[in-house]
């Protein structure tokens, strides 16, 4: 394979053996492709600016850099302005390995020849890339051989790379397209390693839903930085897409005046849900519950309940439907049935025959540690939160919420989520 570090500052020869200059850089185009083509080489020849030679005039790049034309007949390349200069804009830069789901640094770049053209094929992010650039590759290989160690390079295919250059709109769009294919939790882990300016730039092209999913998995610092950078109307739209309890936690950490402004811009139903959660103490069950849960009237048959869940918009949006809660006409909790029991029950039978009419419950002021204990003790995926006096169902504390209360802060965002996101 050909590596950029081996080409830089090497002499460039024309077809008749004349030295044209030294290679200063390689330019590639179409960086959204699996193997972006080399479009030009930049040559230093003593002029104030390097000469750009069209790729069609390149005969070989390795072991010598040779052109297929005479120096007097060079066809200078006219850049369109969106080409990527590999030494100038890629080498030593941070990138996202979208397959390995981590932030890495570019130590070298891999070039390959195919059908008489040259292409950018990968990024070397390992220590071997650094040794190669320092001229110590052969020495290191000899040492590895003496120690009977395998000499390995760590090259990431270009298709698994996403740039994080926040000042390059073209490549940033490519990066966003690749990043959105990753799990929100993996994106959040990467964002936590970036400065806030770069994080905000990367997320600008996300949809409201994609941004909400990612922010739910991010640290409080990243959440506030991103939301603060958005126009208030857009920020409110993103908050509406978040789970109410996550939106409430985010707003609780923000300036009261800003928080109030965003709440007023939210849809009435979403605003009411979040305001309700903000009224409860932070360490209470009410403070960590979500107001989104699947419910049906207790008088329904199994068939009616299933039809309701399939057609009701609120039910469709419920990402934590492990249980279905049976409520009376006054929203009071009558019982609970697992989704598994519901889908296997005879369609013509009343739900009353199948639900648990004495479920484990907490009230909104129950300490969150107690709610977490009940979830663990009874192996529950969620526990309902009901008003202590009226028995009106207010929300649920999910196993995710329970885990968050007992794990150290540093581990909270590292745990898998059970909501299917």
| For the chain, percent of residues with pLDDT exceeding 90 | 53
Q: Which of 200-204, 265-269, 414-418 has the highest mean pLDDT?
A: 265-269
**How high is the mean pLDDT of the chain?**
86
Query: Averaged over 64-73, what is the pLDDT?
Result: 90
The reply to whether 87 falls in a domain is: yes
Strand order from edge to edge, sheet including 333-338: 295-297, 323-327, 333-338
Residue 99 has pLDDT above 50, yes or no: yes
The reply to whether 53 falls in a domain is: yes
The reply to whether 159 falls in a domain is: no
Among residues 86, 117, 146, the one where a domain terminates is 146
Among residues 146, 166, 201, the one where a domain terminates is 146
Residue 39 has pLDDT above 60, yes or no: yes
Q: What is the DSSP string of 371-398?
A: HHHHHHHTT-SEEEEE-TTT-BEEEEEE
> Structural domain tally of the chain?
3
Tens of pLDDT, residue by residue over 197-208, are 777 767 777 889
d(CA 362, CA 285): 7
CATH of the domain at 93: 2.30.30.240
275 and 321 fall within a common domain: no
Among residues 211, 245, 279, the one where a domain terminates is 279
Angle value at C-alpha 36, between 30 and 37, nearest 5 degrees: 100
Return phi, psi of residue 337, to 5°: -135, 135
Judge whether 161 and 98 are in contact, CB under 8 Å: yes
d(CA 14, CA 300): 85
Judge whether 278 and 251 are in contact, CB under 8 Å: yes
The reply to whether 223 falls in a domain is: yes
259 and 319 fall within a common domain: no
Query: Given this model, what pLDDT does residue 313 score?
Result: 75
Query: Given this model, what pLDDT does residue 170 score?
Result: 46
Query: Averaged over 10-16, what is the pLDDT?
Result: 94
Higher pLDDT: 396 or 220? It is: 396
The reply to whether 178 falls in a domain is: no
CATH of the domain at 243: 1.25.60.10
**Residue 155: pLDDT band with limits 50, 70, 90:** confident
117 and 198 fall within a common domain: no
The reply to whether 417 falls in a domain is: no
88 and 38 fall within a common domain: yes
Query: Averaged over 385-405, what is the pLDDT?
Result: 90
Domain, as residue range, for 336: 295-412
Residue 392 has pLDDT above 60, yes or no: yes
The reply to whether 166 falls in a domain is: no
Query: Averaged over 340-366, what is the pLDDT?
Result: 93
Residue 382 has pLDDT above 80, yes or no: yes
**Residue 407: pLDDT band with limits 50, 70, 90:** low
């Amino acid at each position: 394979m050909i590596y950029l570090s081996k080409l830089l500052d090497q002499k460039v020869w024309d077809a008749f053996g004349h030295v044209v200059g030294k290679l200063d850089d390689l330019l590639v185009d179409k960086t959204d492709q699996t193997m972006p083509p080399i479009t030009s080489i930049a040559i230093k020849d003593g002029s104030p600016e390097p000469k750009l030679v069209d790729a069609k005039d390149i005969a070989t790049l390795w072991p010598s850099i040779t052109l297929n034309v005479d120096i007097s007949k060079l066809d200078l390349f006219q850049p369109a302005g969106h080409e990527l200069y590999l030494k100038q804009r890629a080498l030593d830069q941070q990138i996202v390995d979208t397959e390995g789901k981590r932030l890495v640094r570019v130590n070298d770049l891999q070039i390959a020849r195919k059908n008489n053209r040259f292409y950018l094929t990968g990024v070397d992010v390992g220590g071997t890339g650094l040794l190669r650039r320092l001229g110590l590759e052969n020495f290191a290989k000899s040492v590895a051989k003496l120690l009977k160690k395998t000499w390995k390079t760590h090259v990431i295919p270009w298709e698994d790379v996403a740039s994080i250059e926040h000042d390059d709109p073209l490549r940033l769009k490519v990066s966003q397209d690749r990043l959105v294919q990753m799990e929100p939790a993996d994106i959040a882990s990467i964002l936590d390693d970036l400065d806030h300016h770069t994080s905000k730039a990367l997320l600008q092209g996300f949809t409201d839903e994609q941004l909400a999913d990612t922010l739910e998995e991010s640290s409080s610092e990243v959440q506030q930085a991103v939301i603060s950078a958005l126009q208030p109307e857009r920020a409110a739209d993103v908050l509406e897409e978040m789970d109410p309890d996550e939106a409430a936690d985010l707003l609780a950490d923000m300036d009261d005046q800003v928080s109030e402004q965003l709440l007023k811009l939210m849809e009435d139903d979403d605003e009411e849900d979040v305001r309700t959660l903000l009224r409860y103490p932070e360490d209470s069950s009410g403070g960590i519950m979500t107001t989104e849960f699947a419910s049906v009237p207790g008088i329904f048959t199994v068939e009616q309940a299933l039809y309701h869940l399939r057609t009701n918009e609120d039910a469709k949006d419920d990402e934590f439907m492990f249980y279905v809660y049976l409520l009376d006409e006054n929203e009071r909790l009558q019982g609970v049935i697992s989704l598994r029991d519901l889908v296997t029950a005879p369609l013509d039978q009343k739900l009353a025959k199948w639900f648990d009419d004495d479920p484990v419950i907490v009230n909104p002021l129950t300490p969150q540690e107690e709610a977490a204990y009940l979830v663990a003790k009874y192996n529950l995926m969620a526990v309902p939160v009901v008003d202590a006096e009226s028995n009106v169902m207010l929300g649920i504390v999910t196993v995710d919420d329970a885990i968050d209360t007992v794990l150290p802060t540093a581990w909270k965002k590292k745990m898998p989520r059970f909501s299917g996101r």
